[in-house]
Structure 1
Amino acid sequence: MRILSALPVFSLLGMIGFASPTFAQFSNTSNAPITIDADDSRLESGSAVFSGQVDARQGDVRILTDEMTITGRKGGGVNAAVSDIDTIVAVGNFYYITPTQEVRGQRGIYRQASNDFTVTGNVVLLQNDSVVTGDTLIYNLETEEARMVSNCKGRKCGLSQRVRVLIQNTDQNGTKG
C-alpha cells in the first residue's frame, strides 16, 4: 500500500476544507441520539447488526450502507449510550453524508480507541465542487488529519488507480473558473 507524501496531501486537503468537524458526529464526542432504520436487525453478543438499506442519522450526518454492525465497549449493556460505542463497521455501498461533504466507498469503519474513521474501496470524497479519489481514506477525528491512500505505485498504474484531486477554482465573486 502506497501512502502519499504527508505534507502536500494534508496541505491540499486543507485547502478544500477537508478537515471538517462534521466527521466527529458519529463518535463519542457527540451527545446527539443516533437513529437507525433498516430492513432487519439482530442483537449478537455485544453487537447490534442492521442490514438491508441501512440509514443511520445523528444530527445532520447520515450514513447509508447495506449492513452496519455497532459493537459496544465491554460493560456497556443494553442501555448503552452513544459514548459506549467501540466500533461501527458499515459494509456495502457506504455513503457518509453531511450538509457540505459526501464520502463514498465500499466499507466504512469508526474506531473509538484510535478515534479514527476509515473508508475503503474506490473512495470518492466530494466537497462543494472539489473531488478527491483513492483506495483508502483515513481521518483522525482528534487531530483532524486526513490522508488518502492508493494501492498502486507510480505512473505506470494509470490515473484511475492513483490518488486524484480535482479542485474547482473560483474567483472573488464565487464564480467558477
Structure 2
Amino acid sequence: MRFISAPLAVFPAIVLLALFLASSAQAQFAGASGGNIQLYADDAVSVKGVTTLTGQVDARQDDVRILADEMVIYSKAAANGATGPAVGTVAGDIERIVATGNFYYITPEQEVRGNRGIYTAATDTFEVTGDVILVQDDSVVRGTKLIYDLATERARVISDCQGRKCGSDGRVAILIKNTQAVTDAGS
C-alpha cells in the first residue's frame, strides 16, 4: 500500500512553499518597510512622477536587494498627473515598481529569479513572471509565475501547463533537499 503514503509526501512540499517566503514579510521593498531605498544604475530618467533606471540596476532597502536590467518606479505623483521629475519622492509615495530583464529579488534567507518582477503598493503584492526560480537553503521551487502577498505571507507558484501530460518541465516543480541525510552523515 505505497499509495497511502504518497499524498503525505506532498504535505512537506506544501508546507515548504507556504514557509518558503514567510521571512520576506520583514524584508519588504518600498515604503512599507520604512527603510531608505538606494538605487544604482547606469542611467536614470525621471518625468512626471515616473523614474526609469537602466543598465545593471541595483536597488537596496535594508537587507533586500533587487537586480534587473531596467526598473521603472511609478510614484503617487504620476497617478495624480504631476509635472517635473520625482527622483526625490519619498519611499512611501511609491505606487508600483516594475523591474525587467535578469530580475533577482534577494534577501539573506532566499533568492527569487525571473524575467520580470512587479511590486504593487496598493495590494502589497510582489509578482514575478517568466522562468521563476525560488531558492532557500538547498530547496528549489520552479514555475512560470509567483504571486506573493507581503501582508499575509501567502505565496503561490503557477505554471503555464497543467496535468501530467505536460511532463516535469511545464508544471510547478519543488525540490526539497533531505537535510536529515546530511546531518546523519556528519554524526
Do the aligned partners of residues 175 and 83 (structure 1) sit closer, same or farther apart at CA in structure 2, a change above 3 Å counting?
farther
Gaps of at least 5 residues in structure 1 are 1-7
More helix by share: 2
1:63 aligns with 2:76: no
Aligned residue pairs, count: 170
Residue 8 of structure 2 corresponds to: none
- Higher mean C-alpha deviation, range 30-39 or range 130-139: 30-39
Between the aligned residues of both structures, percent identity stands at 51
**How do residues 116-127 of structure 1 correspond to structure 2 at under 5 angstroms?**
116-127=125-136
RMSD: 2.4
Q: 1:56-110 deviations in whole A, cap 9, x for unaligned? A: 1111111110000000013685532111100000011100111110000000000
Query: Which protein, 1 or 2, shows the higher relative CO under an 8 Å CA cutoff with sep ≥ 6?
Result: 1
Match of 1:40 among 21, 31, 43: 43
Shift of 1:171: 2.4
Residue 133 of structure 1 corresponds to: 142
- Does the aligned pair in 1 maintain the 2:141–2:175 contact within 8 Å? yes
Find the structure with the greater CA-based Rg: 2
1:167 aligns with 2:176: yes
TM-score by length of 2: 0.82
Residue 5 of structure 1 corresponds to: none
User: SS where residue 161 of structure 1 aligns?
Assistant: coil
Matching residue's letter, 1:151: D
User: SS where residue 134 of structure 1 aligns?
Assistant: strand
TM-score by length of 1: 0.86
